[in-house]
Chain A
Amino acid sequence: MKSFNYHAPKDVKDASKLASSNSAFLAGGMTTIPSVKLGLASYKDIIDIKNIKKLSGIKVSGKSVTIGATTKHAEVAASKDVKKAIPALAKLAGNIGDAQVRNRGTIGGSISNNDPSACYPSACMALNAVIHTNKRKIDAEKFFVGMFETALKSGELVEAVEFQIPEKADYQKHPNPASRYAIIGVFVAKHKKDVNVAVTGAKSCVYIDKDLSKKLSSNFSVSAIEGTEVKSSGMNSDMHASAEYRANLVSLYAKKAVEGC
């Protein structure tokens, strides 16, 4: 592995000062470390944010659940507060990767990396999440820009993710049997006024399926989306699944998620 300088600052200001175009923030490291090892990325400075206490923890208010950036998947999965407020979110966290990855991987790392097959971005989109950074607040739909790309600027650090508590929600994924990443993942959230159907794994970036969302907003039942054709254009095609197969899975898993609500 290529060498780098390791830093572990105690507050966000110091972390931000250390950042440059040749650095990366390190949370759980479940993507960053393997990427450096494989030579896919190299950095002069790795800035570990584990010592910044305010970045960890789960808070529930009347309308929202706020999860600190360095909160681990295993903590979200086991949290009584999350299970009560948004059970689908706890379920999603409990099925990311494997047990050892969940003991290290974090929500801030997952969304900052914005892997097209990651689970968390779909929850952010469906639950109208607001991403709190050290500079501003960003709506989820503006945060996820493209493949492995977010609205974050150099030195900008995710501090917490604030999810809107829905009336009901469910997440269904078709995992890659080896990596457990989503070949397709569908997060359905029914809010007071409308329904969001967010899809991950299908395209280069997470997105809201507007057609399915609209149909479910006017009639929240499986029958409302029965027979709806999901178009395969723009969908990923690889050794695991063709674009057509993914399109069919989106429709199937949207129905499963509605049933699971």
Chain B
Amino acid sequence: MTKVTLEVNGKKVSKEVPDHTLLSVFLRDNLNLTGTHVGCDTSQCGACVVHVNGKSIKSCSTLAADIEGSKVTTIEGLAKDGKLHPMQAAFKKTHGLQCGYCTPGMVMSAVDLLQTKKNPSDQEIREWLEGNICRCTGYQNIVAAVKEAATKM
């Protein structure tokens, strides 16, 4: 067992967990933050993407113990005072989701992109989202959502 202390969505949390606990498991099972989804569980689909110290990573392939002391932001941490984050609002507006399973990861990846590139081209958006797989939308409206959010962020 190991003690893992993190700041998750602005709140300090500390839990005693088995050494091999994945960050995705820590968030979902220990903190009940089930917005972070587990799709393929082999680090290809990107449904589990969260931010660790501001950078997007795949939480299903990261040990909770490995990021001890870090700041984590999950999809639950984006909305402020009941108001959707501009990226969430843009996904809603442009119909950037259908079943919604991949959406938390898509949104977290896209937010990370706009942190470093304020006005990405279609090509840059598609390349950045290579690690996020969606089986419903065909990606068109996801790209449109990121472009829409770029005008608001």
Contacts and interface: CB of A to CB of B under 8 A. Distances in A.
Interface in A172-230: 178-180
Given A2-B20, A6-B19, A104 B57 contact: yes
A239 interface: no
A177 B132 CA distance: 13
A3 B18 contact: yes
Nearest to B58: A100
Nearest to B43: A34
Contacts of B113: 99
A145 interface: no
A100 B45 CA distance: 11
B20 A3 contact: yes
Contact of A180 (B2, B65, B130): B130
B55 interface: yes
Given A37-B42, A104-B62, A4 B20 contact: yes
Contacts, number: 79
Contact of A29 (B55, B66, B68, B112): B66
A100 B44 contact: no
B131 A100 contact: yes
Contacts of A36: 20
Interface residues of B, number: 28
B61 A99 contact: no
Nearest to B41: A37
Interface residues of A, number: 29
Contact of B66 (A4, A37, A50, A179): A50
Contact of A100 (B19, B22, B66, B109): B109
A261 interface: no
Interface string A24-37: 00100110011011
A162 B44 CA distance: 30
Nearest to A2: B20
B113 to A, nearest CB: 8
Interface in A1-55: 1-6, 8, 26, 29-30, 33-34, 36-38, 46, 48, 50
A101 B131 contact: yes
B56 A99 contact: yes
Contacts of A154: none
A38 B42 contact: yes
Given A48-B66, A103-B56, 11 more contacts: A6-B66, A8-B68, A29-B61, A37-B41, A46-B19, A50-B66, A98-B46, A99-B56, A101-B43, A103-B55, A179-B44
8 contacts: A3-B18, A33-B61, A46-B63, A98-B46, A100-B58, A100-B109, A101-B58, A103-B57
The 5 closest A-B pairs by CB, nearest first: A98-B131, A6-B19, A98-B130, A33-B61, A100-B58
